[in-house]
Each structure stands twice: as structure tokens, then as C-alpha cells.
Structure 1
Amino acid sequence: MGKSKEISQDLRKTIVDLHKSVSSLGAISKRLKVQCSSVQTIVRKYKHHGITQPLYHSGRRHTLAPRDECTLVRNVQINPRTTANADLVKMLETGTKVSISTVKGVLFNRKGRSARKKPLLQNRHKKAILRFATAHGDKDRIFWSNDIWSDEAKIELFGHNDHRYVWREKGEASKPKNTIPTVKHGGGSIMLWGCFAAGGTGALHKIDDIMREENYVDILKQYLKTSVRKLQFGHKWVFQMDNDPKHSSKDVAKWLKDNKVKLVEWPSQS
């Protein structure tokens, strides 16, 4: 069916003027030979917007109403781990006919990304971290200048074990630039212990065996004291380490006490 002829602006004004003169929609339609539905649309538009010109808009009309789009976005905000298919099922259950592409289009600005892995924090952990932050949030650089910070880190010798994305076209998955090389058995890794302070870096030690409490005591005996001398600390320095079970063992606690090492009260899971 061909496109219907557009009603001229003069005819639209005439319809509005006749309506103002208390003429019925049917009478206006019969007098001007215009479909009653068109007359009704023009009058309604004039009442709502105060104009008679057609409201043009570019592109296809939205499949979902603004309210449905807000509901879809709000569901994702409440539960970011949900999937587009799960959201589609919810929309269909409410009687809204929609496709998976429409759901993804509404959520375009919230692209799916790999979730970061963080330690599971219980309420006691959160309270302890909040107390530490509240007590030390206003401390200046001078306060932290005598602190020695330490930690262990595992370093992959070949590549990374994290999830990686590449931008590619369909059918280009096997191209060398779109692949991540791997080796058998993961290529190995090394474990390092190191420390640093505001004035510079301390010692860096490669851990050959499995880290146990006796190994950690040996590291403190040899490399912590070396780092203190290297960083030119006097007697007023504070040592930081996390709450790993090896660090909080009886042997480590005894060595720290015997050597009068003052510790930063570091909260767990931080």
C-alpha cells in the first residue's frame, strides 16, 4: 500500500479552528473529507503540545517503553552478575515481547566485562578496615615516612594467567596477533618477598621452597635488618605485614618481640 498523502498545515489549522468552535470530530471529518482518526490525532496533539505540525523523529521507534528500559537497567544495577538471557526471560514473563538484541541494545553502555576477584569480606573485616581508615585517614607523609611495607608476590615466568580479550573480526581467531601463546605446565613461576618505604626500596628475596613460618623468620633475620640499614632508619621505624597465617605464627611473633619490632596494626583481608 502506498504512502498516504500528508495533511497540509493550512488544513491542520482549519481542523483546530473548527474544533475550537465546538464542532464535533465527526462533523469536522465529514466537512473537510479527512478521516476521523486523523482529525482526532491532530486535535489531541494540539491539546498536549500546543502545535499542529507533525512531530518528526529519526530512526525506528523504540521497542520498549521508557519505563521498561528503566526497569531493565535497574535490574542490572541491582544484580550486575545477571545475563542478558536472564533479563530477557524476566521481560517475557511480564508479557513484554522483546528480543535478545533489544535487551543488549538497552544495556549497550554497560558492556560485559570480567569481574575482578576480591577477598570475601565479612562484617568484622569491614568494621576493622573502616576503623583503620578512620584512625589513619588524616595522617600526613611524615607519619608514614618511618613505615616499612612488605609483601610476597607470585610472578608468572611466561605470560599471564588472567582473562584476556582481543578485538578481531569473525574468522580471525587463529591469526597469531589474536592468540595468546602458552607453554606446557604454565611455564613456571617464582615467589618473591620484598619491602619498601617512603625513602626507597628495601631488599628483594627469591623464595626457592614453599613458604613456611621458619622460612619467613629467616627472611626477617637477614633481609629485614638489611633493608633497615639500607633505608637509613634509626630506632623509630614500624614494620607492616599482612595477616597471613605464616606471619602471625608463634615463631614469627616471638622473633618480632625479641627484636623489639613494632608492627602496624594491619586489618585482615585488606
Structure 2
Amino acid sequence: MVLHQTKAWRNKSSRIEDRRNTCNQLLINQLVGVYKKNPSTPGLHINCNLTALIIKRLKTRSTAEVADTFNVSQRQVQRKRKRFEETGDVFDKPRSDRPRKKAAWEDRLLVRKSKASPFSTAAELHQAWSPHVPMSTRTICRILSQNGLHGRISAQKPALNKRQLKKRVAFAKAHSLLQGWTLEKWQKVDFSDESSVEIHHSRRKYCRRPTGARMDPRFTQKTVKFGGGKIMVWGYIQYGGVRNICRVEGIINSLKYQEVLATSYIPNHKRGQILQQDGSRSHTSISTSKFLKAKKIKVLQDWPA
């Protein structure tokens, strides 16, 4: 009975040892299997995991056998053993990076130049910053990105003068919630405008700006409407969505605008709705004002455009 238990215990221990060896071998094959398939491949870069396996194998095998198992040189195995005996760990020591070409104060100078000229490219900034030092544009971009200046496509905003800006502020104050313009009242406004499908349009322009400054006037590209060949359309939207859109032939004058309203807006107009229109001459002319008054269409006054 005792002999039978002893044999069973030995068999169990043998199976456990076989499983452990199998797991170790699978890990080794996973790390260096590609080198086993191709003996001409250069030696494997030894990381901390592989170093730990090498140290463990050196307890029962020679340096030559371990080097052959992991497909590395015996000199590498000897260095790993010596380092482990001296330090007691398998991790590499921290290494110093390549020295910087520029000092920190020079990076700050580059940042100031980029802020002063946000539409300059990396090559242009390099010429203005330090042309005598060879440096790639990627390095310039990396320095600027580390300081919060990322390359972005500049937003486009209408070119407004001071008078137009004051009118917009005055309109916003006159039509605020304090003046009785609630959400329900704004839902009754029909927003209308002309637009054109242009053949030539303003191209996007690249600039470098800090995060959160997309609409800053310094980083926006000024645009002008209606340039090049185009197709003119007129339409309006309500609270429920787009209501109508129509193509307009030729130039929109007062008579043409009244014709568009008569065919595309008045048939769908409901009592209590307010028409919004910009300050174009065809919209604010005497004949158009009389036409809207005769049709009993209320117009949103003082629209700042």
C-alpha cells in the first residue's frame, strides 16, 4: 500500500515537472521561434522577460547550451549573468537620450514667432528662427505641438467692419430673453436667404493655433461671398426644418425678389409667422416693403447683415 502511494506521488510530481517544462518551452518558442525558423536572422534583442529565462536556465545548463537555445551569442549570456550577479535584477539601466540641438529658451522663441505669425509654415518658421542649424520640419512641428500649438485648418468667417459688429451686438441685446424673445417666439421666425453654388471657392488655409482658439479673429480666414461662376437659389427654413428652395434666374432685384416670395413663400405662409431677411437692397426697397405690407407679412426688423 505504501509502495503504491509512493509510486503515485512520484508520477504526480513527474507530471507537474513535465507541465512546467512544457510551459517554459512554449514561452521560449514564442520569444525566439522566428529565429529558430530562420537561422540567418541576427541575434534576438534580449528583454527583461528573456533575461529571466536565461538566468533560470543557467542554473542547470552551460552558457553554450543556453546561447544555442535562445539563438544568442555566449557573450550576451555572460553579460546578462554578470549583471544579474552584480545588481540582482534583470532590468536594463536607464539610458540617456540624444542631446537636444536647441535649448529650452530657443524653443520659447520659436513659440513666440509662431504666435506672432500663425499662418506661417514650419519651413518659414525655421528660416526666421534659426536657419543655420539643420533641422527637419517635423522637429519644428513637434516642438510647437508640445507647447500647445497644433496645425489646423483655419475657420472661415465673414469680413466684418466695426459698424457691422456693433449692429450685431445691438441686435442680440434687443432680441434677448430679457426683451421677451422666448423660445416659442423664435420658433415663429422664418429664416430666409439667397445662396449660390460657386464654381470657384475660397481654398482652405492652414494655420497653427492653440487649443480652443478656432474662432479667434487672429486665426480665421476672411471670405467674400459670390465669387466666380454660380447658380443662385433662394430658400427659407422654419422651426420644423427646411420648407422650400427655388432657383433664381439672373440677378435678384426688387421685382424678382417679390416674384420669388409670391411663388415660394406666401402660399405656405401662416398667420403669426415672422419673415427674416438680410439688408439687401432688393429686400429693403420701398416697393418690396409695400409688397410685404400689402400681403400682411411681418418682417424681423434690424437684422444685422
Mark yes or no: TM-score above 0.5. yes
Structure 1 residue 254 corresponds to structure 2 residue 295 = no
Letter in 2 for 1:133: A
Structure 2: gaps of 5 or more residues:
1-92, 206-228
Secondary structure of the structure 2 residue equivalent to 1:209: coil
Alignment partner for residue 242 of structure 2, among 201, 204, 208? 201
Structure 1: gaps of 5 or more residues:
1-54, 166-187
Structure 1 residue 191 corresponds to structure 2 residue 232 = yes
Q: Which residue is equivalent to 1:70?
A: 108
> C-alpha deviations, 1:150-170, integer Å up to 9, x for none?
1122236x9x956589xxxxx
2:193–2:236: 8 Å Cα contact kept in structure 1? yes
Q: Which residue is equivalent to 2:275?
A: 239
> C-alpha deviations, 1:15-52, integer Å up to 9, x for none?
xxxxxxxxxxxxxxxxxxxxxxxxxxxxxxxxxxxxxx
Q: Which residue is equivalent to 1:88?
A: 126
> C-alpha deviations, 1:221-257, integer Å up to 9, x for none?
22221121xxxx22x2211012233323333233234
- % identical equivalent positions: 27
Secondary structure of the structure 1 residue equivalent to 2:233: strand
Letter in 2 for 1:106: I
Letter in 2 for 1:238: I
Instruction: Decide which structure has the larger Cα Rg and report it.
Output: 2
RMSD: 3.3
Q: Which residue is equivalent to 1:106?
A: 143
> C-alpha deviations, 1:94-132, integer Å up to 9, x for none?
xx8463523233234645444343221111111111222
Matches of 1:65 and 1:134, distance apart in 2: 51
Structure with more helix by fraction? 2
Secondary structure of the structure 2 residue equivalent to 1:247: helix
Change (3 A) 1:164 1:123: closer
User: TM-score, normalising length from structure 2?
Assistant: 0.50
Q: Which residue is equivalent to 1:47?
A: none
Letter in 1 for 2:105: R
Matches of 2:191 and 2:133, distance apart in 1: 57
Structure 1 residue 147 corresponds to structure 2 residue 189 = yes
Aligned pair count? 183
Letter in 2 for 1:147: V
1:125–1:267: 8 Å Cα contact kept in structure 2? yes
